[in-house]
Amino acid sequence: MKYDDVPETIAQLYEDLKKKHFPYLANAKILFLANKKKMVKKGRIVLGKCVKPSDLLRYLSRHEAPDEGYDFIILLDNKLMQHCEESDIERVLRHELRHIFFDSDSKNPYSLIDHDFTDFMDEVELNKDDPNWANRVARTVSLIYEQEKDQ
Ligand SMILES: [Zn+2]
């Protein structure tokens, strides 16, 4: 299987982040999944991905996430979760959560937004202790995939 459950620590991390940075996600239903295959976009490894599920997928998840199914699915690289520091997992998770835009006036209040640059402005500020973190973590995770290939 390409996907797996995320470790329980992710749910706790999400709760903490929600309280601190994303109060508007209080009613959002998000499924977190571990992605066991390397995700690549434009030649670069992707550590996390926020996806809006199709209507069909929402319908199929209606019992698990009543009544409308999941609003979003966030895929996190499995090796990131297994081998990296919690602080780095937090950076990735925070980044993915920023992709969710909340409009309280809309009937469908959640949508996906993108960033022009490689990150969101709020995140640049929060990551200023380690502005190069994304490259650093991408390199680490890529190396783990490489080593596995050699075995
Ligand atoms: Zn992004």
Gap from CA of 121 to ligand 1 centroid (Å)? 12
Which DSSP letter does residue 118 get? S
Gap from CA of 62 to ligand 1 centroid (Å)? 27
Tens of pLDDT, residues 71-123? 999 999 999 999 999 999 999 999 999 999 999 999 889 999 998 777 899 99
Gap from CA of 95 to ligand 1 centroid (Å)? 6
Contacts of 138 (CB under 8 A, 6+ apart): 44, 45, 47
Gap from CA of 106 to ligand 1 centroid (Å)? 23
Gap from CA of 114 to ligand 1 centroid (Å)? 6
| Sequence ranges of the domains in the chain | 3-150
Region of residue 149 (left: phi > 0; alpha: psi -120 to 50; beta: else): alpha
Amino acid identity of 84? Answer: C
Tens of pLDDT, residues 122-148? 999 999 999 999 999 999 999 999 999
